[in-house]
Amino acid sequence: MTRELLWLTLTVVLTGLLWVPYTLDRIMVRGLMGAMDNPTRNDKPQSAWAQRLYFAHTNAVENLVVFAALVLILDSMGHQTEGTAIACAVYFWARLAHVIIYALGIPVLRTLAFTVGFLAQVALVLAVFGKI
């Protein structure tokens, strides 16, 4: 497995597990049956951190599509460099930071973490087109 695919795998696992904490919060707030019920406008709101984590998870899923496609394109090209491996590692750590910071409700740092992840994706796009 290439380093790029390793970082993609870790990112997929992270993204795939993000629902667990906010679902546990939903159970704590609404009870087990309330958490399994269909959502309604009358539902008791979840904890603020869980609501933010939900949005961070949604954002992570949206961005995973782009990141995964870029990594898989590079892999199909057989294009692995130190730069692409670093970009993938930076993307993973930026996404992890984004989730934690978002759940904690720190707005400016959240945006910075997102931007770092986006710039890692830009580096991968440049690698696809042979610019780095």
Cβ within 8 Å of residue 20, ≥6 positions away: none
Instruction: Determine contact, residues 15/64, Cβ cutoff 8 Å.
Output: yes
Whether the CA torsion 46, 52, 72, 78 is positive or negative: it is negative
Alpha helix (H) residue ranges in 78-106: 82-104
Query: What pTM does this model have?
Result: 0.94
What is the CA angle 129-130-132, rounded to 5?
A: 115
Is pLDDT above 80 for 132? no
Instruction: Determine contact, residues 33/45, Cβ cutoff 8 Å.
Output: no
Is pLDDT above 90 for 131? no
pLDDT (tens digit, 9 = 90+) per residue, 13-68? 999 999 999 999 999 999 999 999 998 999 999 999 999 999 999 999 999 999 99
pLDDT (tens digit, 9 = 90+) per residue, 58-100? 999 999 999 999 999 999 999 999 999 999 999 999 999 999 9
Domains, the chain, ranges and CATH?
A: 3-128 (1.20.120.550)
